[in-house]
Chains A and B, each alone.
Chain A
Amino acid sequence: MSDTHAQSVAFVRETEIPPAPPPEAQSGAVRWMQQNLFSSVFNSILTVISFTFIAWLVINVYPWFANGIWQADSIRECRELLDGKTGACFAVLTERWNQLLFGFSYPVEGYWRPTTAFVLLLVSIAPVLARGRLPNAMFILTAIYPFLAYWLIWGGTIMTPVVALVGFVVGYMAYSRLVTRSFAMGAFGGTAAAIVTWYLGGFLVDAMPNFLALAEVPSRSMGGFMLNLILGTVCVSLSIPLGILLALGRQSNMPIVKGICVVFIEFIRGVPLITLLFVANVVLAYFLPPGTTFDLILRVIIMITMFSAAYIAEVVRGGLAALPRGQYEAADSLGLDYPQAMRLIILPQALKISIPGIVNVAVGLFKDTVLVSVISMFDTVGMIRGPIQQSTNWLGIYWELFGFAALLFFIVCYSISQYSQWLERQLQTDHR
């Protein structure tokens, strides 16, 4: 300290320099434009071209929106109303609104059921997404939601989902009793207890088919954006845990487990989703004993879940590999066993690294649900290309319908992506 002082020249300021405002060009819009839009000749040319393009787009598209017709019964009526002007025929959206959202054979008087299920979905995933900012009691709703939603959408007696739920609860209780002795015993006992409960509960369901029953709606009546949402939520929430298990299995020391996981992942990743959907639609029927009806939606859910689980497994494996070996060793050296080390130390960190990748797969999966239109299911795209575009009233209408479908998907996918960015910021604790 004193050394440096001794070497520097003595200097003491006697007058204060008064504060001055920044020079004009340093701040404000002019400076921003100079820096960002016109910083070089090349940049200026790009700016001019881009602005011209945007202006052209707005000038051409704006009248199409502004002149849009919202009330009409057919494309002919639309054209008459437009009277030669350019303009969109949004009337198809208002007239076919319910079909776009629910498909064409869901009973009209039951529309409130999927709508309620959708609202409850938002409420019940909130505590999962908000990470401890909401009361823990809300997790009860999350736990019963799948059963409630099934009852609301498919109908039938409430006993079916209740028995299913009770089976899980009984199985879990048996598991937690027995797992203290050994994991294998817990797993086996839990499964057995659940199966027995379901078997016995089956009689109860048969005995009272009208207890708190909603009109039954068969799976083939599901359609529209509702079908995309059902497939999307169910498959995402099933494929994340399955993907994690596959990733852990692939890292396992047990050669059989590892082998099964590797073969599964590599096989699924090597096959296009469309192929799997055709398998679900046609081929599976050959393998099933004749006369069994194995719900088509269930088959499709299984296929899409397997498909995205394989991708999620690879994403999670990347996250696992990115963790330093020291984390595994520290967990081991403290005496944590394998499940504890995974759940408390390894997965929280590996999943955090994997969030962008998992979200990528989830968004992709959600958009891929429109592929079911290829196996003649009437999801949003299936409805548009089938019943709506082929009706005589709306023959030849494209932009409005597909634009609307794109908007629906964009809203969902953009929200997912915004959420994941928020989550990543929340989990930022390492301050590296």
Chain B
Amino acid sequence: MTENTAMQVSEEVAIEIRNMNKWYGTFHVLRDIDLTVQRGERIVICGPSGSGKSTLIRCINALEEHQKGSIVVDGTVLSSDLKNIDKIRSEVGMCFQHFNLFPHLTILENCTLAPIWVRKTPKREAEETAMHFLEKVKIPDQANKYPGQLSGGQQQRVAIARSLCMRPRIMLFDEPTSALDPEMIKEVLDTMIELAEEGMTMLCVTHEMGFARQVANRVIFMDAGQIVEQNEPEEFFNNPQSDRTKLFLSQILGH
């Protein structure tokens, strides 16, 4: 694990969020978020339910619109310009809590759809890439099944493979394991660890603290729409600074 944290983090900036604010109607969900992510960095975001973790990472690929401040992804400024939004989305992969696979398409079609239509990759090539990534998440033999025929853990791994097929430079995960049974959590986490070891830039909302200790360079704690504390995992878990962090950690590690 020390070996992992020592993995190369370049000086290049992948995501830069400045003074970002978001409201749902009059409800102030995100307040003055400042966050810089270097290329190759692996960040775990945690915090109590309703603290705005999902909203934050959904703002990064414009699934939610922010009202104030700026977000720059990979040098592209996120504005309401649809061209920029589509560009950013095709560079940023996202995995959801409920997988969101397309139930009317086979696993292989799920994986080749975006490369074919967005990247204009020839079908053959897209299928080869898809099989490559399905092998990587260890389910090449399910390629011709439909999502409904797979277990939850397998579906989530397909979802990861589907994102990877677009060859994203940044991956966002929103509680990828919280809809899964314990024995399936491990298979998904293993896939994510492997991805981290290859140097993928990752932002991951999760409550899997073992995973955070093993792969994260930085853990961010959010509460009530603000970043309350951020630190290296060892420091964060062993020596939390704010009272809210201490309370949160005692609740999730405490039992």
Contacts and interface: CB of A to CB of B under 8 A. Distances in A.
Nearest to A340: B117
A320 to B, nearest CB: 14
B207 interface: no
A349 interface: yes
Interface residues of A, number: 22
A334 B167 CA distance: 11
5 contacts: A324-B100, A332-B62, A336-B113, A429-B103, A429-B104
Interface of A: 324, 326-327, 329-330, 332-337, 340, 344-345, 348-349, 352, 427, 429-432
Nearest to B83: A337
B98 A431 contact: no
B117 A344 contact: yes
Interface string B107-143: 0000001100110000000000000000000000000
Given A332-B63, A334-B166, A336-B114, A427 B104 contact: yes
Q: For chain B, what secondary structure do more than half of its interface residues adopt (helix, strand, loop), or is it mixed?
A: mixed
Interface in B124-172: 146-149, 162-163, 166
B104 A348 contact: yes
B202 interface: no
B222 interface: no
Contact of B90 (A330, A335, A352, A429): A335
Nearest to B159: A330
B181 interface: no
B103 A334 contact: no
Contacts of B113: 334, 336, 344-345
Given A329-B63, A333-B61, A345 B102 contact: yes
A326 B117 contact: no
B118 A326 contact: no
Nearest to B149: A431
A15 B63 CA distance: 68
Nearest to A325: B100
Contact of B96 (A330, A335, A345): A330
A352 B105 CA distance: 13
Listed from nearest, the 3 A-B pairs whose CB atoms lie closest are A335-B90, A330-B100, A326-B100
B52 to A, nearest CB: 17
Nearest to A343: B117
Nearest to B119: A335
Which of A326, A327, A330, A345 has most chain B Cβ within 10 Å? Answer: A330
B163 to A, nearest CB: 8
A345 B100 CA distance: 11
A348 B98 CA distance: 20
Contacts, number: 71
B89 interface: yes
Interface of B: 61-63, 82, 86-87, 89-90, 92-94, 96, 98, 100-104, 113-114, 117-118, 146-149, 162-163, 166
A324 B87 CA distance: 25
B60 to A, nearest CB: 10
B112 to A, nearest CB: 11
A349 B105 CA distance: 10
A378 to B, nearest CB: 45
Nearest to B116: A344
Given A329-B100, A335-B86, A429 B117 contact: no
Contact of B102 (A330, A337, A427, A431): A330
Nearest to A348: B104
Grouping DSSP codes into helix (H, G, I), strand (E, B) and loop, the A interface class, with mixed when no group exceeds half, is: helix
Contact of B146 (A326, A334, A431): A431
Contacts of A330: 96, 100-102
B90 to A, nearest CB: 3
Given A335-B86, A336-B118, A344-B113, A329 B102 contact: no
Nearest to A352: B104
Contact of B104 (A333, A340, A349): A349
Contacts of A326: 96, 98, 100
B81 to A, nearest CB: 13
Contact of A334 (B62, B89, B98): B89
A390 B96 CA distance: 70
A430 B96 contact: no
Contacts of B148: 429-432
Contacts of B163: 333-334
A18 B8 CA distance: 72
Interface centre among A329, A334, A429, A430 (most CB of B within 10 A): A334
A63 B213 CA distance: 89
Contacts of A340: 117-118
Given A326-B100, A330-B100, A337 B86 contact: yes
Contact of A329 (B93, B96, B149): B96
A335 B104 contact: no
A333 B98 contact: no
A76 B113 CA distance: 71
Nearest to A429: B146
A430 B146 contact: yes
Contacts of B162: 334
Contact of B118 (A335, A348, A430, A432): A335
A340 B149 CA distance: 26
B114 A327 contact: no
A335 B89 contact: yes
A132 B105 CA distance: 15
B7 to A, nearest CB: 26
Of the listed residues A327, A329, A340, A345, the one surrounded by the most CB atoms of chain B closer than 10 A to its CB is A329
A329 B147 CA distance: 17
Given A336-B113, A430-B103, A430-B146, 6 more contacts: A327-B100, A327-B102, A333-B94, A348-B104, A349-B102, A430-B148
Contacts of A348: 104
Contact of B103 (A333, A336, A337, A349): A349
Nearest to A335: B90
Nearest to A333: B94
Nearest to B62: A332
Interface centre among A330, A335, A345 (most CB of B within 10 A): A335
A359 B103 CA distance: 23
Given A348-B104, A349-B104, A431-B148, A332 B96 contact: no
Nearest to A427: B104
